Amino acid sequence: MSEKWLYWFEELNAGQNDLVGKKCANLGEMTRLGMRIPPGFAVSVDGYERFMAETGAGEEIRGYVLEHMADLKSIKNQVKASETIRGIVESKEMPAGMREELYHYYEELRKRAGMEEIAVAVRSSGAVSMPGQMETYLNVRGREAVVRKVIEVWGSAFTTRAISFRLEKGMPVEKAPIGVAVLKMVEAKAAGVVLTVLPTTGDTSKVVVEGNWGLGESVVSGEINPDQFIVDKESGCVECTVNQKTKMIVYHDSGTKTCEVPEENQCKACVDTEELNEIVRIAKEVESYFQAPQDMEWVLDFTACCPENLYWVQARTAKYSKVEEKEAEYLAELMTRLF
């Protein structure tokens, strides 16, 4: 186990999934590409392992799983196991040495951002991709709160969905080392996702941008019907669907809340033409760099103007439907018959 367990994003690259998880590794690579990423740092998998070893939580979890493994086939028992194991993790205090190092990085992040007080997002970063199965905490303020949320993210490696996933894949239930991303929150005017492929058809000639006012969690979670823009990569032609958006997620105290979108914005596009073009431009560049369709998350800062207001908080290989080879061959043959 390495003594170093905290890393600034600029120290990382896409090949370090096993060290810090995919999200943090990709944020590192994006930083190296010169993309506008909120400043932040990664808590490595070694940090998780060290916490589990020094607090005894790892041994307690192994004992529980060994005793109850035969019962974990039922959803009811998976729910109970999740509650018990998360309780074990979250009942532990951060060891003193680790706590002081996290304090130092948080204070340095505050200085880098040039802020007296800084709000951060604390996000899970699994070495194995399990979107939506672990927790994200937004608008976390103060070093004590950051320490607590890092522990809670570690605990969320044992959600019912995560336990079920590992059982289904034949992975150890008791061992779930993950990284954690701690990054400055953006003062979000609007946020959303962009995919450089139509996910339902596998059409790689299009870029899909979806967004809503406020923070992007309303789009990612599927809570609202977002604006959607389908852009042709070659011609730049746009199919635009601006939906009525009545709810958005915004900062509230040391967290977030759902509130009403002002009436004048409910039927107004959450991005303008310049912002949309910039989102698409960068998404295409990232796709070209990684040589694979991308699934990315963007945020627009209301305190700046385009293009300086565009930030990126996620990039990963997109999952999408592919036309079966035989079907493609059949369609090609059919087309030759028609001409």
- In tens, the pLDDT along 271-305 reads 999 999 999 999 999 999 999 999 999 999 999 99
Return d(Cα 173, Cα 162) in angstroms, integer.
Answer: 9
pLDDT interval class at 332 (50, 70, 90): low
Percent of the chain with pLDDT over 70: 93
* Whole-Å CA distances, 114 to 10, 66, 107, 109, 305: 18, 49, 11, 9, 19
pLDDT interval class at 116 (50, 70, 90): confident
Return d(Cα 324, Cα 252) in angstroms, integer.
Answer: 47
18 three-class SS? helix
**Could you say which of 3.40.1410.10, 3.30.1490.20, 3.40.309.10, 3.40.630.30 is the CATH number of the domain covering 6-184?**
3.30.1490.20
In sequence order, which ranges of 33-95 are alpha helices (DSSP H)?
Answer: 45-55, 57-68, 75-90
* Whole-Å CA distances, 87 to 20, 58, 76: 24, 12, 17
Return d(Cα 6, Cα 101) in angstroms, integer.
Answer: 8
First to last CA, the chain: 64
Which tokens in the block code for residue 217?
A: 């969690």
Burial class (CB in 10 A: 0-12, 13-18, 19+), 153: buried
Extents of the domains making up the chain: 6-184, 188-317
Q: Counting runs of H as helices and runs of E as strands, what totals does the chain give? A: 11, 13
Which tokens in the block code for residue 115?
A: 């802020």
pLDDT at 200 over 90: no
Which tokens in the block code for residue 303?
A: 């305190």
Residue 219 contacts residue 299 (beta carbons within 8 Å) = no
The CA-based dihedral angle spanning residues 212, 213, 217, 223, taken in that order and rounded to the nearest 10 degrees: -60
Return d(Cα 135, Cα 90) in angstroms, integer.
Answer: 13
Q: Which residue has the higher pLDDT, 168 or 88?
A: 88
**Residue/partner pairs of 266-270 with CB below 8 Å, 24 or more apart:** 267/242, 268/242, 269/227, 269/240, 269/242, 270/189, 270/190, 270/192, 270/211, 270/212, 270/213, 270/226, 270/227, 270/245
Return d(Cα 12, Cα 262) in angstroms, integer.
Answer: 40
The CA-based dihedral angle spanning residues 135, 184, 266, 256, taken in that order and rounded to the nearest 10 degrees: 50
Return d(Cα 110, Cα 89) in angstroms, integer.
Answer: 28
Cα-to-chain-centroid distance, residue 37: 13
Report the sign of the C-alpha dihedral through residues 127, 132, 133, 136, in that order.
positive
Q: Is the pTM of this model over 0.85?
A: yes
Q: Which residue has the higher pLDDT, 210 or 319?
A: 210
pLDDT interval class at 325 (50, 70, 90): very low
CATH number at 188-317? 3.30.470.20
Which residue in this structure is represented by tokens 């060994």?
66
Report the sign of the C-alpha dihedral through residues 58, 64, 65, 66, in that order.
positive
Q: Which helix (H) or strand (E) covers residue 263, if one does?
A: none
Return d(Cα 291, Cα 285) in angstroms, integer.
Answer: 10
The mean pLDDT of 183-189, rounded to a whole number, is 95
pLDDT at 224 over 90: no
**Average pLDDT taken over every residue of the chain:** 91
Amino acid at 274: E
